[in-house]
Chain A
């Protein structure tokens, strides 16, 4: 524990800016994955344990699209849309059969797909790690803000994730589709009775959730090595985010993701050997004090 270093960092503008940007970088990527997880749970009532594998697929789709086209925009589109389509097919063929079933059954189906997707990636792209590389447009010196340094790509990543968060919030709270989704989350039978095709709605929601995971993978591809099984670590942190933020709450996921990001960045200065402990401690505290999470609906 080095509280003196933490205090020194908070007192220094350059350190505070750099560490805050680090928190946002870590947090925004986590938000994209966790918000998809949360959205799917909120509406469909299932926990998609294969969500980390979708993040991995997004990264590999982007890797291939970038290698073929050289366009980073197409790479992100391929990662996000490719996984969205895959997610919808996965929902229709497999997940829809375990709705309302025991959670162990859902876990088994998802776990089987984690293994299948890991092996498929190993077969198609190989067992060795891959690196997509930074697009030329972002191969720039870091931007200096108040003495702190933030790489251009990270600014893009934070901006894109923030824009997605705003769009998601607007989509759910200010559109007719959002109203139907929210209504289906509360009373799907009534929504179906009113003439909404809930089968298509469920597939659509699962697709949007998968799209978010795929986009996170695509955005991570230039800065992280791609390996089969790379989705596991982000899945664990995403669960922490959804538990803290409240299962089913997009705003809660956003707040929790930023909180986890800041815990990682400032924690590495003040508590370098206890960063993971801090994260899990925070989760335990939320579970004890408010088991439904910061903004989650209490179980009825």
Chain B
């Protein structure tokens, strides 16, 4: 067996040498050199279907960051190129295109801009093919919190559910105590994210204000075209406050249909997904005073770099940036900094070593920097504030931040309760 292997190896070397000589004579070295100079970053994402905006805004933000990086000279003499593939929102397809990007397209780094179900599939591919991978859209906490899922070369550059739950619970409880909002109801999409997100939000809201009682819950289907039956149920229950994990087009439909009943003047509304620019602008009659988590806002954090990002992105896409846009832009910043530190080398372990604990000065940071936490490969220091809607630009204002020290304290308790630490 060893003999055969050796024989093949020798023949392979001879063939390789012959091919190399032929290529040199044919003038290929120039092309080969150019290919090696460009670092290909693969991006599996969702570019079709009802949540295509996740992929299109992720891709646009990455392209913008790459353009700026290349114009600045790249890293170690190497520039970067983005190769995107549509997974159509299917986890099996996400895994397949990720393998293809690495094995066939020569991608040396992966930016995984998949929704959560796809990200877990990509994580397993990265376990087998240890290139650097940065997840940029999955908000499911266990992806990085659960040590059983941990992969040494995989990181998350995205907000996560547990951080939002603590911040949201803290914010909502402040309002519930002030206004005496005891009767709560929830209306969230009936799938894993909708149920987990709602449970976590209400858990922390009740932790901070034990007087809160959830009197009813409705679970419309994901991508439901009509919410009338849910809205009239809300009319019957007459809650004082509602939490919703609906997002994207579903949330737009829910609010527009609720407007027909003048529903939102009857209770306080709390939403984790309303703060995205395209959602806010798609709603023709945005009710003022709705409470929403920060997704992205060009005026918060109030920094020139943030405004410049929004304007550059808007120029490219004719839209306001989304939550996924800033996360992908930030992910590129982390990757480029790591590439600079390795002198353009793309070895997964070397890049991962640089990313662990890395701090980058970012226009999206609450203070000055966002940190890629070394213990669980996830970011902290990003905005987790809540604000209230207004009918005109900037559509959300009065952001009320929660101290990261407090978020981390409750996150640690939550991790312990789950057996993660």
Contacts and interface: CB of A to CB of B under 8 A. Distances in A.
Interface of A: 9, 15, 18-19, 21-22, 25-26, 122, 127-134, 139, 141-142, 149, 151, 153-154, 220, 222-225, 227-230, 233-234, 264-265, 267-269, 272-273, 275-276
Nearest to B53: A128
B225 A230 contact: yes
A22 B228 contact: yes
B236 A142 contact: no
A272 B233 CA distance: 10
A275 B219 CA distance: 11
Contacts of B285: 133-134, 139
B230 A268 contact: yes
Interface residues of B, number: 37
Contact of B260 (A128, A129, A151, A230): A151
Interface of B: 47-50, 52-53, 56, 218-219, 221, 223-226, 228-230, 232-233, 235-236, 248-250, 252-253, 256-257, 259-262, 278, 282-285
B249 A225 contact: yes
A225 B256 CA distance: 9
Contact of A25 (B221, B228, B252, B262): B228
Q: Which of A130, A153, A234, A272 has the most CB of B within 10 A?
A: A272
B230 A142 contact: no
20 contacts: A9-B236, A18-B236, A26-B226, A127-B53, A131-B256, A131-B284, A133-B256, A133-B285, A134-B285, A139-B285, A142-B262, A154-B260, A220-B225, A223-B253, A223-B257, A223-B260, A225-B249, A227-B249, A228-B48, A228-B50
Contacts of A131: 252-253, 256, 282-284
Contacts of A153: 260
Q: Interface majority SS on B: helix, strand, loop or mixed?
A: helix
A11 B225 CA distance: 29
A223 B252 contact: no
Contact of A22 (B224, B225, B232): B232
A130 B282 contact: yes
Contacts of B230: 268
A129 B218 CA distance: 24
A296 to B, nearest CB: 26
A149 B235 contact: yes
Given A153-B260, A225-B253, A268-B218, A128 B52 contact: yes
A140 to B, nearest CB: 9
B284 A134 contact: yes
B233 A269 contact: yes
Given A132-B284, A272-B218, 5 more contacts: A15-B236, A129-B53, A133-B285, A149-B261, A228-B48
A229 B50 contact: yes
B229 A129 contact: no
Q: Which of B52, B229, B283 has the most CB of A within 10 A?
A: B229
A154 B226 CA distance: 13
A70 to B, nearest CB: 13
A222 B142 CA distance: 39
